[in-house]
Amino acid sequence: MSISSLWVEKYRPCSLDEIVGQDGVVERLKAYVRKGNVPHLLFAGPPGVGKTATTIALSRELFGEEWGGNFSELNASDERGIDVVRTKIKDFARTAPLGEADFKIIFLDEADSLTSDAQSALRRTMERYSGTCRFVLSCNYSSKIIEPIQSRCTVFRFRPIQDADLRERLTEVADAEGMTVSDGALDALEYVANGDLRRGITALQSAAAMGPDVGEDDVYRVVSATRPEKARDLLVSALKGDFSGARDLLDELLIDEGLSGDDMVRQLHRTVFDLSIPDREKARLVDRIGEAEFRIVEGANPRIQLEGLLAHLALNSSGS
């Protein structure tokens, strides 16, 4: 287990009542628990919103103390070929459940990483062994799961964790660890987490390594992000036609604070929607930021692309 995942594992929910921010999903799953039976399930949603934790909590409530022997977790991004379906998955699915359980659960995390051949083999396995095994598939993009598998599953959509739920859970973790976290630090954790509770807990853990008193600056420093107001100042300067001033701010963020190009462009994208400008101008900004992000991902020089973005905004600004 990596150091960054220690707290995530430590504070993972043991029951469905402990799941944060997914009330609709939890209520539907509790109905299955009361009946003592579940269909094949497909959990879809962004990372860090509780898909894996929900699956483990569901298994604990269904199987009690015998849940470990009736539950198998595989990460499809590590073993994504057809062989894993023909060997590990089939071997576990064909054996009888332990104790008084009527079935076992196979959890395929990141199932959207499975190859198309593996998914085709999986759909037949799901049918053949449905009497002794239920499948729970977790993915970020349900569109990457083939239709025959989706039609065999009950789909649950997980949403990003709301800021209030994030703040409550992070406060619980901080109190349990005997830490002092300022209100500004909690605001910063909400911002950098952006609906991802796992990222928020990991950021809190990293900041706590610097001392028991966590401040706002500690959070931004450990996650290599800048304050939202600095990203805002960067865009506002460019939109006013002050290219030199915007470029100086960019140098400060990239050199002094050590931000990477892709982190910077994503933070600029989030900042656009907080600007007091017409929607048409926001659409133009998002279009240009998206183009810069694509070029950076494809291997272009991040600094040149970001300066090109600022130059475009300055040349087309109302102040130029």
pLDDT in tens, the chain (320 residues): 444 566 677 777 778 888 888 888 889 999 998 888 889 999 999 988 889 889 999 998 888 888 888 888 887 666 655 666 666 777 777 787 887 888 888 888 888 888 888 888 888 888 888 888 899 999 998 888 889 889 988 999 999 999 899 999 899 888 888 888 889 999 999 998 888 988 898 889 888 888 888 888 888 888 877 888 888 999 999 989 899 999 999 988 888 877 888 888 988 998 898 888 888 889 999 999 999 999 999 999 999 999 999 999 888 875 54
pLDDT of residue 286: 93
- Provide the terminal-to-terminal Cα distance of the chain, rounded to the nearest Å: 54
Beta strands in 3-129 (DSSP E): 41-44, 71-75, 104-109
pTM (global) more than 0.85: no
The whole-angstrom separation of Cα 70 and Cα 81 is 24
The whole-angstrom separation of Cα 75 and Cα 288 is 36
The whole-angstrom separation of Cα 142 and Cα 158 is 11
Q: Tell me how many degrees the CA angle 96-102-104 measures, rounded to the nearest 5.
A: 60
pLDDT of residue 129: 83
- CB atoms under 10 Å from CB of 299, counted, come to 7
pLDDT of residue 2: 46
Radius of gyration of the chain (CA): 23
pLDDT of residue 252: 87
Residue 174 DSSP SS3: helix
Q: Tell me how many degrees the CA angle 175-158-90 measures, rounded to the nearest 5.
A: 105
The whole-angstrom separation of Cα 227 and Cα 216 is 9
pLDDT of residue 84: 64
Domains of the chain plus CATH, in order, are 3-157 (3.40.50.300), 163-222 (1.10.8.60), 228-315 (1.20.272.10)
How many helices (H) and strands (E) the chain has is answered by: 16, 7
